[in-house]
């Protein structure tokens, strides 16, 4: 099917012109970024790009989509790689907790998407409105039908605020309402709410739903940082922090040793944990939140500060397609039905998934993408040459778990919840300045390297 | 090996975010080195102690200040890798100081003066 060209794209690069005042500066930076590292350190083994005329469509321009595109452009010669995503701004979600707790300014988590679209990749600034894997085609929000030979689904996930009655994203930042997931603006607004709350202290309610979660450590980090901000302001003593989770008894994190460590720290900080208590409604104006037990028993609590974490699921476009799990634990959320080892779709073999959309255990983090993007690019390339995908993913993910301003734990683990520290001599449960330094200074540069397909 | 490659890329990306400063320092280093090399009587031997002392000063200052500049504190260094990492970063700043101070001092301290 014929594709409509991108409006206003540069004839030199094939990428859309942004026309922004700082475009020249950014192009200079791109030129530097695209240049190889100094000869002495650019020791990556050179591989000849494989010739192919395969048409590859990538749905989504988040970390996963762009990282796979960058790698495919290096590995394939002649392939047509198309990214479909309307978003003009690329967010750095791992920084949202830092923005929401007053550590970072918001500009550190927002960049133009155009800065990261690899040269030679066609970018269609629309959304995928429909997947038709039986016909090997996608339909965009603009009505284009785009045929593909191979598809990479990297749509990310949907924050399902509709499951919380009365929740209004526009109200974040007012009346003590906070939410770290909704985006950069919500993160800034959350800091406004937290900053006001810490002046006086009071009742803080922190929440965590059951089910697959993007960066499952974020609600814990927010809880630690709320306690720390109160302590810094001298208002912790006259405050109370309650953590309500929909998870079973004494569970706030999926890895037991980490879970137990966090609960012990919370006990020392006086943070109260309430399990099987799911946030179901909020009245921001009255500052009241309603929680429900699995038996349906409801309890409405007043708060001065509420951190809302919504349930998460696949976007409708995936959930309602034939690409979603049809049975099993991932079916209700509509997550992408991929093999957890190869990340290849279990029924449509020319489809791969990357990032938050995958119906796999754990690992909806940037660290997971860092480890799995090379694997997806490799397995897809194997498929193009007629071989079986042979790279296998162990479910690696990591979480720099902030325990207070200035200190964190660097926790890495796999599908089975087994700790897998990159540096074996370092104790993952030891709070550390280095882990903090990595979180605030080193992980964004690492993230950008992943986007560029280098690491 | 992967961790080394990752770290090199992190350093590269950090340098890119401060590329104007990196460029200025690089030009300064090249300019000072050329000036010292081309100047008759530049006293490299006498420059070493000054450069090393300056580097040590910068290293110690970096070690003491870096935690607070990264919104932490020396009190948070409770793990041996923290000390090692901080020493490594401070050592990098010390090396940079030495690289600039050595040609500068050699240029200024002419032999026989």
Evaluate whether residue B91 is within a structural domain: yes
Model pLDDT for residues B62-110, shown as the tens digit of each residue? 999 999 999 999 999 988 999 999 999 999 999 999 999 999 999 998 7
For chain A, give the percent of residues with pLDDT over 90. Answer: 87
Give the CATH fold of the A165-312 domain: FAD/NAD(P)-binding domain (3.50.50)
Q: In this predicted model, what pLDDT tens digit does every residue of A276-302 receive, in sequence order?
A: 999 999 999 999 999 999 999 999 999
Q: Is B92 helix (H, G, I), strand (E, B) or coil?
A: helix
Residue B41 lies in a domain: yes
Residue B112 confidence class, pLDDT cut points 50, 70, 90 = low
Domain that holds residue B38: 2-108
C-beta contacts of B7-10 below 8 A and 24+ residues apart: B8/A37, B8/A41, B9/A37, B9/A445, B9/A446, B9/A449, B9/A454, B9/A455, B10/A442, B10/A445, B10/A446, B10/A449
- Domain annotation covers residue B113: no
Lowest mean pLDDT among A311-315, B5-9, B42-46: B42-46
Of the spans A10-14, A21-25, A420-424, which averages the highest pLDDT? A420-424
| Shortest distance, CA A306 to any CA of chain B (angstroms) | 25
b (16+ CB within 10 A) / e for A116-129: bbbeebbbbbbbbe
Asked whether residue B58 is assigned to any structural domain, the reply reads yes
CA A84/CA A65 separation, integer angstroms: 9
pLDDT digits (tens, 9 = 90+) for A179-237: 999 999 999 999 999 999 999 999 999 999 999 999 999 999 999 999 999 999 999 99
Which whole number is the average pLDDT over B11-22?
A: 96
Which ipTM was obtained for this model? 0.92
Q: How large is the average pLDDT for residues A65-70?
A: 98
Average pLDDT value over all residues in chain A: 91
Pick the residue from chain A with its C-alpha nearest to B68.
A406
pTM, whole model, 2 decimals? 0.90
Residues 50-109 of B with CB under 8 A from A: 67, 70-73, 76-79, 81-82, 85-86
Parallel/antiparallel/unpaired status of strands A122-124 and A80-84: parallel
Cβ atoms of B51 and B33 within 8 Å: the answer is no
| pLDDT value at A2 more than 60 | no
Q: What CATH number was assigned to the domain covering residues A48-157+314-394?
A: 3.50.50.60
Q: Where in chain A is the domain with CATH 3.50.50.60?
A: 48-157+314-394, 165-312
Q: Do A441 and B79 touch (CB under 8 A)?
A: no
Long-range contacts of A42-47 (CB under 8 A, 24+ apart): A43/B5, A44/A454, A44/B5, A47/A74, A47/A75
8-state DSSP, A169? G
Counted domains in chain B: 1
Number of Cβ pairs < 8 A linking chain A and chain B? 87
């Amino acid at each position: 099917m014929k594709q409509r060209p991108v409006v206003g794209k540069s004839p030199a690069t094939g990428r859309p012109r942004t026309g922004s005042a700082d475009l020249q500066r950014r192009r200079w930076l791109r030129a530097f970024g695209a240049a190889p590292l100094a000869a002495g350190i650019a020791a990556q083994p050179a591989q000849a790009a494989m010739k192919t005329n395969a048409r590859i469509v990538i749905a989504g321009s988040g970390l996963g989509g762009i990282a796979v595109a960058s790698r495919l452009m290096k590995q394939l010669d002649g392939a047509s790689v198309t990214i479909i995503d309307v978003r003009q701004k690329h967010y750095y979600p791992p920084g949202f907790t830092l923005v929401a707790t007053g550590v970072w300014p918001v500009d550190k988590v927002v960049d133009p998407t155009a800065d990261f679209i690899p040269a030679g990749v066609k970018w269609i600034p629309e959304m995928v409105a429909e997947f038709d894997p039986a016909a090997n085609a996608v339909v965009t929000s603009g009505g284009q039908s785009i045929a593909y030979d191979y598809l990479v689904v990297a749509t990310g996930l949907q924050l399902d605020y509709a499951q919380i009655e009365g929740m209004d994203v526009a109200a974040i930042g007012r009346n003590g309402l906070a939410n770290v997931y909704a985006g950069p603006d919500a993160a800034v607004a959350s800091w406004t709410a937290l900053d006001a709350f810490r002046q006086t202290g009071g009742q803080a309610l922190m929440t965590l739903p059951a089910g697959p979660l993007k960066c499952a450590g974020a609600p814990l980090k927010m809880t630690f940082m709320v306690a720390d901000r109160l302590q810094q302001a001298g208002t912790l003593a006259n405050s109370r922090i309650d953590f309500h989770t929909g998870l079973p008894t004494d569970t706030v994190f999926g890895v037991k040793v980490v879970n137990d460590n966090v609960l012990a720290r919370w006990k020392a900080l006086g943070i109260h944990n309430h399990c099987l208590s799911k946030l179901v409604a909020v009245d921001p104006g009255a500052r009241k939140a309603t929680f429900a037990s699995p038996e349906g028993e409801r309890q409405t609590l007043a708060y001065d500060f509420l951190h809302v974490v919504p349930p998460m699921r696949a976007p409708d476009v995936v959930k309602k397609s034939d690409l979603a799990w049809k049975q099993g634990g991932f079916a209700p959320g509509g997550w992408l039905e991929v093999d957890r080892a190869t990340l290849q779709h279990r029924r449509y073999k020319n489809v791969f998934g990357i990032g938050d959309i995958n119906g796999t255990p754990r690992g909806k983090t940037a660290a997971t993408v860092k480890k799995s993007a090379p694997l997806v690019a490799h397995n897809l390339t194997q498929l193009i040459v007629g071989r079986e995908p042979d790279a296998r993913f162990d479910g690696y993910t990591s979480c720099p778990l902030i325990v207070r301003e200035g200190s964190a734990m660097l926790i890495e683990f796999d599908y089975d919840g087994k700790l897998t520290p990159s540096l074996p001599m370092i104790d993952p449960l030891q709070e550390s300045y280095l882990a903090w330094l990595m979180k605030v200074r080193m992980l964004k540069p690492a993230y950008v390297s992943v986007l560029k397909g280098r690491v | 090996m992967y961790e080394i490659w990752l770290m090199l890329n992190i350093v590269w990306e950090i340098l890119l975010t401060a590329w104007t400063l990196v460029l200025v320092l690089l030009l300064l280093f090249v300019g000072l080195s050329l000036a010292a090399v081309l100047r008759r009587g530049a006293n490299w031997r006498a420059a070493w102690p000054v450069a090393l002392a300056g580097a040590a000063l910068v290293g110690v200052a970096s070690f003491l200040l870096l935690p607070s500049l990264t919104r932490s504190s020396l009190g948070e260094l409770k793990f041996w890798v923290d000390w090692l990492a901080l020493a490594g970063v401070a050592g990098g700043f010390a090396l940079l100081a030495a690289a600039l101070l050595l040609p500068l001092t050699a240029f200024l301290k002419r032999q026989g003066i």
